[in-house]
Structure 1
């Protein structure tokens, strides 16, 4: 039997801010809160479903160095341009990492600067 990803953990200064952002981006809900302010968000069916949850681990200081893991998202119910506008309106911002301009994806950053990519292809939301 193989493993599968159950949750992704993201260290952050303001879990509430990132929870609002990522819940809107991914159509997730808050699944739980810890005493230290950390939060778990995920699909409505909760932990263990077809998608991993996202655990926003509260940190007073950002971890040193560049994160080696980032999230890629795909639009589900609109084209890439419309989804890009939606993400920017939610608080994402464009990130420059040396793109040529010919890529079929957009590099963005969430409100705390964590990079993620908006891919072109639409996928089934389920």
Structure 2
């Protein structure tokens, strides 16, 4: 028996803003909202426990006390990398410098709160179309 990732939790200053951003990036919808202000987003029609993990945007208490060592990688599903880069920038992502050389095949970006993520080159099939 093994585990699988069911959800990722990201502490943030503005869960509404990040839920809107990541929903647009991933094609997710709101699946739950907690009294503490947390918003869970996930794939339409499945939500928690489905084939893809959900993302919980949880109100944080300020700046993290240590650097975040986990980041999200995304891959385009219906366009090439440059077209997807343009779409992500239009949604509010910004280029980020984490010490890359410029020779990488991926783009390092930051979401509206500065959380780094990477846009990979390889196009993948959407879940359910593999």
**TM beyond 0.5:** yes
In structure 2, the gaps of 5 or more residues are none
The aligned counterpart of 1:50 is: 51
Q: Give the 4+ runs in structure 1 shifted more than 2 A.
A: none
The aligned counterpart of 2:13 is: 13
1:35 aligns to 2:41 (yes or no): no
Q: State the TM-score, normalized to the length of structure 1.
A: 0.97
Shift of 1:82: 0.2
Q: State the TM-score, normalized to the length of structure 2.
A: 0.94
The aligned counterpart of 1:92 is: 93
Number of equivalenced pairs: 126
Q: Secondary structure at the match of 1:99?
A: coil
Deviates more, 1:56-65 or 1:97-106: 56-65
1:69 aligns to 2:78 (yes or no): no
Q: Secondary structure at the match of 2:11?
A: strand
Output the CA distance in 2 between the equivalents of 1:84 and 1:71.
15
Output the CA distance in 2 between the equivalents of 1:106 and 1:64.
27
In structure 1, the gaps of 5 or more residues are none
Shift of 1:60: 3.0
Provide the aligned C-alpha RMSD in A.
0.7
